[in-house]
């Protein structure tokens, strides 16, 4: 259940 | 050239075992700071960050910054050939596309070297800002592994909820539901057995157990695990590597549809 978020939604490319 | 020597070679074996199931190929960054890696799993849900500081090695030489792309399954295969008591040396010369792993038995009567091809890996490096977390849980790593394993027989996701009462791990599935509550317990004989909960705000987040279980492959590295949580942020699950650095796993939460 629920939607899996992606890690790239939280942290920017450096 | 780049060269590092680690007398406690078993640490490197354990490090590889803790990341190889999560990540297929990764770039190791070698600099004067140390030997590090940042990589995401193939679905970009989890990220692993490893740092082994240069001071932690018996010998560490890095003439200039170097990135070594390696297939972690192949690297793990090579490190499995090192004995648990072996001293491990990793060497790479400038301008070559190979890395050499050298294993020395403690009595120096057996010396092996394994050469592995490096790869060009196009990987995205993410900037992870320092964050103040609403709740930080420190607990025995074996206990956390046990909880993740037990809950995965009930459901696919775990709800981790930190309140004044303690930390609650919950799972729900076709056969039923499970709740495991761990309370703060600082009055133990050995500090590694303690459970410490620092809470600024109550926080509840949901995570896929498949990833949590993969993170617990790092359990042999450290007696304690640190779980840092804030609403609307990935959880950070951290294992220290014997005074040399850390493995941190970041996992994006699941949200209600």
- Which residue carries 């850390």 as its tokens? B246
Tokens of B159: 């709800």
Interval B10-32: pLDDT, tens:
999 999 999 999 999 999 999 99
Looking at residue B23, its pLDDT comes to 97
pLDDT digits (tens, 9 = 90+) for B32-82: 999 999 999 999 999 999 999 999 999 999 999 999 999 999 999 999 999
Chain A, window 1-14: residues with a beta carbon less than 8 angstroms from a chain B beta carbon: 1-14
Spans of chain B below 70 pLDDT: none
Q: B64: left (phi > 0), else alpha (psi -120 to 50), else beta?
A: beta
Percent of chain B beyond pLDDT 70? 100
Provide the pLDDT for residue A1: 72
Q: Which residues of A touch B128 (CB under 8 A)?
A: 11
> Per the CB < 8 Å rule, is B45 touching A3?
no
CA B19, B31, B111, B100 torsion-angle sign: positive
ipTM over the 0.85 cut-off: yes
d(CA B110, CA B153): 44
Residues of B in contact with A10 (CB under 8 A): 233-234, 252
The helix-helix angle for B10-19 and B72-80 (nearest 10°) equals 150
Of chain A, the end-to-end C-alpha distance in Å amounts to: 32
Nearest CB to B126 within list A3, A5, A11: A11
Q: SS3 sequence, B139-164?
A: EEHHHHHHHHHHHHCCCCEEEEEEEC
Beta strand spans in B84-134 (E): 87-92, 98-104, 111-117, 126-127
């Amino acid at each position: 259940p629920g939607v899996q978020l992606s890690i790239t939604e939280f942290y920017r490319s450096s | 050239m780049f060269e590092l020597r680690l007398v406690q070679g078993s640490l490197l074996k354990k490090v590889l075992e803790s990341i190889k199931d999560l990540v297929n190929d990764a770039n190791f960054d070698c600099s004067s700071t140390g030997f590090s890696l940042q990589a995401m799993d193939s679905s970009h849900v989890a990220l692993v960050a490893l740092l082994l500081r240069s001071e932690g090695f018996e010998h560490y030489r890095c003439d200039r910054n170097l990135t070594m792309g390696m297939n972690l399954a192949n690297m793990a295969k090579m490190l499995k050939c090192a004995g648990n008591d072996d001293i491990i040396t990793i060497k790479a010369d400038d301008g070559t596309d190979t890395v050499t792993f050298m294993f020395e038995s403690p009595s120096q009567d057996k010396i092996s070297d394994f050469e592995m091809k490096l790869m060009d890996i196009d990987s995205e490096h993410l900037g992870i800002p320092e964050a103040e977390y609403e709740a930080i849980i420190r607990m025995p790593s074996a206990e956390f592994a046990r909880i993740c394993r037990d809950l995965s027989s009930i459901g696919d996701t775990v709800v981790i909820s930190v309140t004044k009462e303690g930390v609650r791990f919950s799972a729900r599935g076709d056969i039923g539901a499970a709740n495991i509550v761990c309370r703060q317990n600082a009055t133990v004989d050995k500090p590694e057995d303690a459970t410490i909960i620092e809470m600024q705000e109550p926080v509840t987040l949901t995570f896929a157990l498949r990833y949590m279980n993969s993170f617990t492959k790092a359990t042999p590295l450290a007696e304690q695990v640190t779980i840092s949580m804030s609403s609307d942020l990935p959880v950070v699950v951290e294992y220290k590597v014997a005074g040399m650095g850390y493995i941190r796993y970041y996992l994006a939460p699941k949200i209600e549809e």
